[in-house]
Structure 1
Amino acid sequence: MSPEHGARRSRVIMVEPALTQLAKLTANETHRLDRAIVAIGVNPELGTEVPGTLLRDYADEVDGVRAIYYVTALGSITIVAYIEA
């Protein structure tokens, strides 16, 4: 990796029920959530661990969004299971 490039971003995938929730969001809510999803893709360890599970819970109080997700073993894929905005 060359010095001007940062760490590789993980691929973010949304599954049900996150996709159903996404379809109900307004354009403004989707925009706010998009910033959070990008942040999680860049650094999947942003969220706090949910005890006893592989899940992580990310909440951005400024944008008022939340995502519950897990990261694959190699960290190349982040799977979003739940969102709210």
Structure 2
Amino acid sequence: MTPRNGPRRARVAFSDSAAGQLEDITTEAEIHALDRALVVISVDPGIGEPIPGGATGPQLRQYTDEVESVRVLYSVTALRTVVVVAYIEV
């Protein structure tokens, strides 16, 4: 019997400013809410809405989880293997 694997996830990395924002998240509920949003994004990096902007940098996307009150701004690498989180709002 062949082992069944789930969908391949993108690796999540944080910009310096997003890493700084992580330090401000202190409650278990906020950590759980952010973790849930990051899992959703890593499984389907295209789930967020594109943010209009210039064509000089990576295309920023915005994912908002209304249930958990989380907003994440991120970009995705060309091969969709890495999601770089730019901004976190919990």
Shared fold (TM-score greater than 0.5)? yes
- Secondary structure of 2:45's aligned partner: coil
| Residue aligning to 2:41 | 40
- Count of aligned pairs: 84
Correspondence 1:10 to 2:15: no
For the pair shown, the structure with the greater C-alpha radius of gyration is: 2
Correspondence 1:67 to 2:72: yes
TM-score (norm 2): 0.85
| More helix, by proportion | 2
Tell me, in whole angstroms, the C-alpha distance in 2 between the residues paired with 1:67 and 1:16: 14
AA paired with 1:77?
V
Shift of residue 51 of structure 1?
A: 1.3
For structure 1, the 5+ residue unaligned runs are none
